[in-house]
Structure 1
C-alpha cells in the first residue's frame, strides 16, 4: 500500500487526521486535499454501512490512508472494513488482552490469523488479489481503544499482545466508566489516562487520542502521543458556517 501508514505509525511519526462522521465521499475528498495524514472514519457512532464506508474511502482516494472505527470489535465488521480498502481498523472497547488478541487474529490472514478471504475493493475486485493478500498482514494497522476502566486495569497485558500497533485513548467513554461522564479533567480520569500512557511508553506502543480542537490534543502531543484525531467534520462545518454568518452580519 503506497501510503505505508502502519510503518509510519510504528516509527513514531506524528499523524494527524480528522474524524469523518458524514457518509459523504465529497467530504472525504475535501479533507484529503488539505494536508491531513489520515482520516478516522467513524462507523461506531456514524451512520455507516459497508457500502457507505467504501464510498467514503473512494472519495478519499487510494493515497489517503483511512482507518475505520468499527461498530463492534467482531468478525464481520473487521472483515468488511478491510475488504472495502481501509488502511487499518480501530477496535472500540477492547478491555482485555484476550479481546485484543482476537481483534488481531480477525485482522490477519493465515497463518497469523483467521481473516476471511474475499474479492473486494481492497483486492482490486479480484484483479490484484494475490498482491494484496501477500502484503496485508504486514501493512494493515490494528489500533485498539482504551476507553473503559477495565481496559486501564488490563493495559499492561493489552500492550504486550503481538500485532497491536497502537492504543487510542477514549477520554469521554473512560470518564463515563468511572462514573464521571464528560469530566475528562477529573483526577480519577487523568490518573487512568496516565496509567495507559505509562504502559504504552514502557512497551513502545504508539499512543493516540481524540480531541475536538487543537487545544484539546496539544497536551497529549507534548506528552508523546502521535496518532492524533483532531476535529470532527460536522463541527468543522458548523463552526465555519457560524463564523461566516457572523462575519457577514457585522
Structure 2
C-alpha cells in the first residue's frame, strides 16, 4: 500500500506551491520556447510543498516511488501531456493521474526549457559529467531554439571519446566513427536530437553526441566525416532534473530527492 508519509519531509518547512512554480518558471523561462507540450504545473496537488522529488519521466513507477517517499510535488523532464496524443483519460494515463490525484501530489514538467538552461539544464549538466570545456567565448549554441551546445573535449579521437562517454554514463554507446579525424570541437544535444546532426556539422563539429540514432545519420556521418555517438535518450537526460530540483529546493528550504528509474532507451 502506498503512503505519502515521510518523517524527514514532514520536518521541513512548507512553501506554497505557487512559490515553487514561480521559482521554476523564473529559472527556466518556459515562455521563450515553442514546445511539444505544456511546461510548468501539469497536475495540481496540495497547496503546500515540503518534499520535492525529481525524476526524468512521469512514469507510474516514478509516481509510486515518489508517493512512498513522501513527495508533495514531482519535478520531471518528460511530463504526461504531449501535442497530438489522445485526450482520453484511459489505461496508463488514468492510472498515473489517479495516483497523483488520490495522493494530492503536484506534477511539474519542463521539457525544452530544461534542455537549454546554461547551467542546470540537461546539456550543461551532461557537459559537466563528461568533462567538456567551453569555447573561448563560452558554450557555443546551435540548432532550433539554440538547444544544441558546442565545446571542447580532451579526448583525441572518436574511439577514446566513445569509451569515455560509455564509462561516465554507464551504458553502451553506438559510434559511427570518422577515422583519423582529431577532435577539436564537439557538439551535443541530449535525448532524441538526431535531427540536429546537420546543424552540428554546420557549426563545425568534429563529433556529435545525442541520445538516439536514426537511419539517415549513419550515412551523413560517413559522408561528412563527422563522428556520431548515440548514448541513450535516458542516459543523456538524467542530470538536468536533479540539478534543478536540488538548486530550487536549497533556495526555498525544501527537502529534495532524485529517483532514477532505469531505462535502457
Task: Considering Cα pairs closer than 8 Å and 6+ residues apart, tell me whether 1 or 2 has the greater RCO.
Answer: 2
Say which one has the larger Rg: 2
The structure in which a higher percent of residues are helix is 1
Q: TM-score, normalised by structure 1?
A: 0.29
With normalisation by structure 2, the TM-score equals 0.28
